[in-house]
Structure 1
């Protein structure tokens, strides 16, 4: 159960969280690694899905507030939006946890292991070569987070003081750091990035601002670390599907568009992200 922005309690359907099949040797009963002998499946509206009765989502955990585990269940902003898609298709969402680099190449989409990827993924021209994106659903901003003792508040401070900078591997945060002349320490996940900062492996990190927001809600973190400059990169997140899967992409677009029109999007934003940006209602 989770609490919505208006204080009401709402039940979530239980979701199966599956690791990538290559790493799931001990999980012989894993579904969502292909259809086996069932053949192609179809959801409402003739939308093809890889598993009957399921909308199989690839993600990379944890990435709060977009997708993360809480009380044994995967929840978050991305999860809630894709639940809307699944509801329209009359199926249930199932989540597969897989390394982020699979999203850039479209590997798990092309192999038929997932229907879509939902992972706080920035839409880029390079990634469009491998996957098709939905309409943008989130305007993203990067941020600099540094240890309090480092005194760094900007990337210029990091460079001038010869501090160690970290970022999540294969992300636009890492790319931005490299473009600014840094050689960032690469971490496998957002949790690993923040843990690297906490344990002194790096002095500062570039990471998505909503992730920082959530982390600094902890009072101990807020005392030890300082939010520095916001880095406006013009990034926008999208959900991705296999190239040419126009029916599923249209279904995702419709769910996003409808949610923005009827107020559902704003409620989910406030529940999982926080107050709406100024000028947005």
Structure 2
């Protein structure tokens, strides 16, 4: 994940996701009516953990991919999974969980969620625990610094022994450690930004779309500077429990069809901005 300010436009058509109650697994943000029974099947015989639902594990907030606005969970990932839910003739239900669970696949393996969508980078380590969809997003990291620091690159940060902040358990954390830093790890993207604002760190390394979203806020733009992009070759994927071939095939088809018919580009523009040249 790069992993986990707000986008401006409304939801796309399809299943709507509304805030619900607090449960043992975390804050449940559910679509439509109250929960049904136990394990069931969606259209095409695809197994789901709850009748009439496609239960998505995510980690909030992580704009523009998933975040709460006016009592609803919205964002690019949410809209993309809505396409999967529509194909399966069910409604999406979102469960907010710690990001560390995405690395291990814990909530997928325990049957609490059908899939995980959280701006999550596909890595060989994670593939040992979960199965990933086809990639749906090409990601780069970004360095954001306090303007008063004058930092513009990781090389400068290293030479000046600057303190860097990252989100815990993300590839941003792994990357900065590999570059010889000892980053300060924060629980959420919001906490990362607050750490920079309060001077706990001199700069942060996080997914570029997230940083770009922060800078849409005039206060952030006045305080912080975007440093050089860090191209790590990362790509996001949606994960399912290992061996869940039917659900994985449905996710892949939804992504591929969205790319082919222009829906993907519409969602990208709505939640992130103009697609990079050559993307679709």
Whether the TM-score (by the shorter chain) exceeds 0.5 is yes
**Does the Cα contact within 8 Å between 2:15 and 2:85 map onto a contact in 1?**
no
> Are residue 72 (structure 1) and residue 66 (structure 2) matched?
no
For the residues of structure 1 that align with 2:174 and 2:14, how far apart are their CA atoms?
A: 39
Matches within 5 A, 1:178-193: 178-193=177-192
Aligned to 2:16: 13
Matches within 5 A, 1:93-242: 93-242=92-241
Q: Compute the displacement of 1:161 (Å).
A: 1.4
Identify if the C-alpha distance between structure 1 residues 52 and 273 changes in structure 2 by more than 3 Å, giving closer, same or farther. Answer: same
Identify if the C-alpha distance between structure 1 residues 125 and 11 changes in structure 2 by more than 3 Å, giving closer, same or farther. Answer: closer
For the residues of structure 2 that align with 1:116 and 1:276, how far apart are their CA atoms?
A: 25
**Does the Cα contact within 8 Å between 2:58 and 2:96 map onto a contact in 1?**
yes
**Coordinate RMSD, CA, aligned:** 2.0
Q: Compute the displacement of 1:159 (Å).
A: 1.2
Aligned to 1:55: 54
SS state of the match for residue 276, structure 1?
A: coil
Aligned to 2:268: 269
**Which runs of 5 or more residues in structure 1 are unaligned?**
25-30
Aligned to 1:27: none
Aligned residue pairs, count: 268
SS state of the match for residue 213, structure 1?
A: helix
User: Deviation string for 1:80-108 (max 9, x for gaps)?
Assistant: 00000000100000000000000100000
Q: Compute the displacement of 1:271 (Å).
A: 0.3
> Are residue 91 (structure 1) and residue 90 (structure 2) matched?
yes
Aligned to 2:5: none
**Does the Cα contact within 8 Å between 1:15 and 1:93 map onto a contact in 2?**
no
**Does the Cα contact within 8 Å between 2:141 and 2:230 map onto a contact in 1?**
yes
Q: Compute the displacement of 1:13 (Å).
A: 1.9
Q: Compute the displacement of 1:223 (Å).
A: 1.4
Identify if the C-alpha distance between structure 1 residues 134 and 9 changes in structure 2 by more than 3 Å, giving closer, same or farther. Answer: closer
**Does the Cα contact within 8 Å between 1:77 and 1:269 map onto a contact in 2?**
yes
User: Deviation string for 1:250-269 (max 9, x for gaps)?
Assistant: 00000000000000000000
For the residues of structure 1 that align with 2:147 and 2:173, how far apart are their CA atoms?
A: 22
SS state of the match for residue 162, structure 1?
A: coil
**Which runs of 5 or more residues in structure 2 are unaligned?**
1-7, 28-33
Q: Compute the displacement of 1:22 (Å).
A: 4.3
Aligned to 1:260: 259
TM-score when normalising by structure 1: 0.91
User: Deviation string for 1:218-272 (max 9, x for gaps)?
Assistant: 1121111000010000000000000000000000000000000000000000000
Aligned to 1:45: 44
User: Deviation string for 1:8-50 (max 9, x for gaps)?
Assistant: 98686243456562457xxxxxx77xx7xx4420000000000
SS state of the match for residue 78, structure 1?
A: helix
